[in-house]
Amino acid sequence: MKYTSISQIEKLKAEGEKFSCLTAYDATFAGLMSKVGIDVILIGDSLGNVIQGQQTTVPVTLEDMEYHIACVARGNKSCLLIGDMPYMTYSTPEEAYQTARRIMQAGAKMVKLEGGAWLEDTIRGLTDRGIPVCTHLGLTPQSVDSLGGFKVQGRDSSAAKSMLADAKRLQEAGARMLVLECVPSALAKEIAQTLTIPVMGIGAGVEVDGQVLVLHDMLGISPFQAKFVKNFMAEAQGDITAAIQQFHDEVKAKTFPAPEHSFE
C-alpha cells in the first residue's frame, strides 16, 4: 500500500474529487484509518481537548505533539500525515524552522500552522527548506481568547474580504493546503474556487475540496458537539470501523456536510 502524498491530494482537487481527513493520536486508530482508506490524518493539537482534558489547545507542548505524531506514524500505512505546530512555537521564522524540524522528524509529512498574512515570511522560509505547509484560517483555536470564543468567522463583508486576501497571500507564499474552520459556506466556496491549492473544511460547507473532523467528535464521544459535527457512530450502530467508513464515503459523495452542519 502506497502512502498518499500532497501531490496526490492536489490531483484530487484538480479532478474535482473530494478527500477525507480525520484526526488521530495513536497507532491503533491510524492503522484503522489506513485500512478504511482515509486520505489524510491530522495529528491535531486538539489532543489537548480530547486526550488531555484541556479547555483549549493552548497548553499543548511541542513534546506532546512529537509523542503523538510518532505514535500515529508507527500505525499509519497509507495516509498523508499532517502535524500541528503548537501554540507559540512558530512566532518567528527561525523558531518555526526548529519546530518544523521536530514535527517532521517525529513522522509528519506536512506541518500545519494557524494565522494569516503575518506568516508569509515563515511559509516562504519553510517552503524554501523543503517543508510542505498547511495553513489555517477562520476560527483558529490557538487564538480563541483573542477571538472572544468559538465563533463563526468571516460573516461580514469586510472580514470575508480580509480572509480571502489572506488565503491568496498564503498560497503565494508557498502554502500547499489550507484549512477553513467555522466559515460561512458561500465564503468557503469562493476561497476554494479561487485558490489552486486544496482547501479542507471543518464547519465550512460542502463546496471545499476536503473535509476534516476530530475523531472523538464524529464518534459522538466528545462532551460537546458543535453544529458542524455529525455523530457517525450512532448511525453505524456503535461500529467504529463502519463509522469511519461512512464518514469517508459521505465526504467522497458530497453528502457530508449537509446544510444542517454548515453556516450561512
Q: pLDDT tens digit string along 180-203?
A: 999 999 999 999 999 999 999 999
Instruction: Indicate which residue of 181, 190, 207, 235 is catalytic.
Output: 181
- On the question of pLDDT at 146 being above 90, the answer is no
10 annotated as a binding-site residue: no
List the chain domain ranges: 6-261
Checking if the pLDDT of 147 tops 90, the result is no
Residues in Cβ contact with 116 at an 8 Å cutoff, skipping those fewer than 6 apart: 137, 162, 163, 166, 169, 170
Residue-wise pLDDT for 29-74, tens only, equals 999 999 999 999 999 999 999 999 999 999 999 999 999 999 999 9
Q: Is 46 a known ligand-binding residue?
A: yes
Query: Global pTM?
Result: 0.96
Active site residue 181: yes
Of the CATH numbers 3.20.20.60, 3.90.1150.10, 3.40.47.10, 3.40.640.10, which one belongs to the domain with range 6-261? 3.20.20.60
Please tell me whether 249 is known to bind a ligand: no
For residue range 199-251, list pLDDT tens digits in order. 999 999 999 999 999 999 999 999 888 999 999 999 999 999 999 999 999 99
89 contacts 95 by C-beta, under 8 angstroms = yes
